[in-house]
Structure formats: C-alpha cells, structure tokens
A = this chain, B = another copy of it.
Amino acid sequence: MSDGPRPEMSPADHAELALLLEVASTPKPGNVDRKRDHEDLHFEQFLTGAVGARPGFEQVEAGDPIGEAFERGVRGMSQQSGGNTQFGCLLLLVPLVRAAATDRLSPDGLRAVVSETTVDDAAAFYRAFEHVDVAVGDPPEDAPNLDVRRGADAVPALRDRGLTLADVMATSADRDGNAAEWTDGFERTFAAAEAVLDDEGPVTDRLARAFLDLLAERPDTLVATQHGEERAREVSRRAAEVRDDPAAADQLAEEFLDNGINPGTTADLTAATAFVALERGVSL
C-alpha cells in the first residue's frame, strides 16, 4: 500500500477517479454529493457515468482528437437513466488529460492544447449534444445557427465559418464558466488544485472546501443561466458565508436542493481541480 504517488495510475485513471471524488465530496450545496440526490438524478448514476465516460479519457490519452474523445465520453456517460451527469466535467477533463499525457499540465500547456483544436473537434462537440440533454443558454444573437441544441445540424454552419473548438469556447466564455477555463488556460482550476494540495484531511473534504471557494469567488454560470445573474451573485455570497462552518454549509446544501439551485458549473470545476490534484500526487 502507498500514500505517495500512484505510478500505476494513468491520466485516464485519474480523470475517472476525479469524477468519482467530485460526486463523493460533501457538502457541495445544490449538487448531488455523497449525502444528497436530486429527485431524478442519483448518486449511483454519477458512478455509472464515470465508468461509462472512461473510453473517452482513454482515447484522448492515446492521442485521438479531443472532440471525438469528448463525444465518446459523453456517449458512454449517458448509459444511465438520469441524463446529464457529467457533460461539463468531461469538457474540462478531456483537454486536461491530453495535457497530462503530453507532459503539459500547466496553464501554458492547456493554452497550447486548446489552440491545437480543429473544426472537426468543434463538430464532434456539437454532436455530443445529441447524446444527452444539457442545460445551456441561448446562442450569440448574431449566430442563431450555432445553437448547440441543434447538435449535428449546426455543423455546416461551423464549417462555413471555419470555427475550431477553441473558437466555439471563446464565443461562450463570457457566460459559461467551463468555456472561460478553456480560454484562460484553466487558471481557476490550477489555483484551486494548489489550494487542495496545501489543504489537509481526506481529499473529499478538501474538494468540498474547494467547491465553496470557487463558488464564493465567482457566480456559477449554470445558476445564472437558469435563475438569472442576480440570483447567481446571491448564491456566491451565501457560499462565502458558510465557507468555514461545515454545519451551515450542510444546511445551505439542503436549502439549495429545496429551491432548485444547482451550481453545476462549479461542480465541473471541482472535478477538474480533483484531476490536477491527483496528477500532482494528492494523498488518498
């Protein structure tokens, strides 16, 4: 047994484990966690989604195109009846796995990985929306034919404009926290991972604290999409208030659950944070 590095765990292993640790971390107010299910979305469906997504991680680790690997992961993730468990997590983890597999797990490395994406990657990203219902905002006003909800139907418009997956992410970066990570070299992810590595105790407790810190730091874009920006700012204020009070955080988790507040983008960032912390040897 060992509590040091895990030489036999590959980036794909760590990506799958990151999904599992994310959902196990509690409390993550408003999200499914070790203690809480949503009415139609259960803990065991996240476990299933993590195992199902694995082939996508293996593909991107092996050097397959990022878009294709992402679509494969989403397709595998969807082999359960809960629907969208980890779409946003995969969107962050797939480029992180590529970076780790090519020894570039740093903000600069992620910028390079993102810059290498192609129009084909963008097309595969759009196709992934056909496997599962994803909560998204409206498309840019000047590009209604690029609505991701159109799935593969939007691909001709993508090709006409020559948009890469990096370009697609850049168009959403102002209203989607995951897209913002893509365009900003995953800076928030790396900063949160450093905090997790500096923290103490079981990794799931550290990740729950990282979730609250990330949520307090910036409004969750899924909450903003679903409930408006003012509500999203209020949710962040509430997260900041309970940061150092586990009982209050637990109570906030109940409240958010009752009120349908789901800071899901912050949970995605937490999975990405878990991945970087695992790659950097956080003890288990």
Residues of A participating in the B interface, judged by any CB pair closer than 8 Å: 1-3, 6, 8-9, 13, 16-17, 20-21, 24, 34-35, 42-45, 47-48, 50-52, 54-55, 75-76, 78-83, 131-133, 202-204, 283-284
- Determine whether the beta carbon of B81 is less than 8 Å from that of A16: no
Which residue of the partner chain, among B48, B81, B202, contacts A17 with CB atoms under 8 Å?
B48
Report the separation of the CA atoms of residues A215 and B279 in the bound assembly, to the nearest whole angstrom.
39
Closest 7 pairs between A and B when the two form their complex, measured CB to CB:
A3-B81, A80-B284, A20-B47, A6-B79, A17-B51, A1-B78, A48-B284
Which residue of the partner chain, among B3, B44, B76, B82, contacts A204 with CB atoms under 8 Å?
B44
Given contacts A6-B79, A202-B42, A204-B43, contact A51 B1 (CB under 8 A): no
Copy tally for this chain in the complex stands at: 2
Given contacts A9-B52, A13-B54, A203-B44, contact A81 B284 (CB under 8 A): yes
Given contacts A44-B21, A76-B8, contact A13 B202 (CB under 8 A): no
Residues of B within 8 A of A52 (CB): 6, 8-9, 13
- Determine whether the beta carbon of A24 is less than 8 Å from that of B47: yes
Least Cβ–Cβ distance between A11 and chain B, in angstroms: 12
Residue of B nearest to A78 (CB): B1
Question: What would 6 more interface pairs be, CB under 8 Å, given A1-B81, A1-B132, A80-B284?
Answer: A1-B79, A6-B79, A8-B52, A9-B52, A42-B202, A44-B284
Which residue of the partner chain, among B1, B21, B79, B82, contacts A83 with CB atoms under 8 Å?
B1
Given contacts A1-B81, A45-B284, A284-B45, contact A20 B76 (CB under 8 A): no
Residue of B nearest to A20 (CB): B47
